[in-house]
Amino acid sequence: MFDGTKNIIAKKKYMFTLKIACFLFMWYTLLVILLIFRAKFGVTIDVGPLAEFLPVIHV
């Protein structure tokens, strides 16, 4: 017998995980781009405002 509710819950969990993975990927790509930019042009980028959001990622 097919259980519809289990399928919906699994799908929601999967979508949630996918969103987090996407967010993390974007975030770390952005950080890498910033680091490359900094190394290439010798520009110091203030990471002060970004540092506030870093703990949110690791939770």
**CA dihedral of 46, 58, 35, 32, whole degrees rounded to 10:** -140
Q: Encode pLDDT of 20-48 as tens digits.
A: 999 999 989 988 888 887 777 765 555 55
Q: How confident is the model at residue 58 (pLDDT cuts 50, 70, 90)?
A: very low
Percent of residues, the chain, with pLDDT higher than 90:
17
50's CB contacts (< 8 A; 6+ apart) are: 31
On average, the pLDDT of the chain sits at 75
Residue ranges covered by each domain of the chain: 4-58
Look at the pTM and tell me if it is higher than 0.75.
Answer: no
Q: Can you give the pLDDT at residue 59?
A: 39
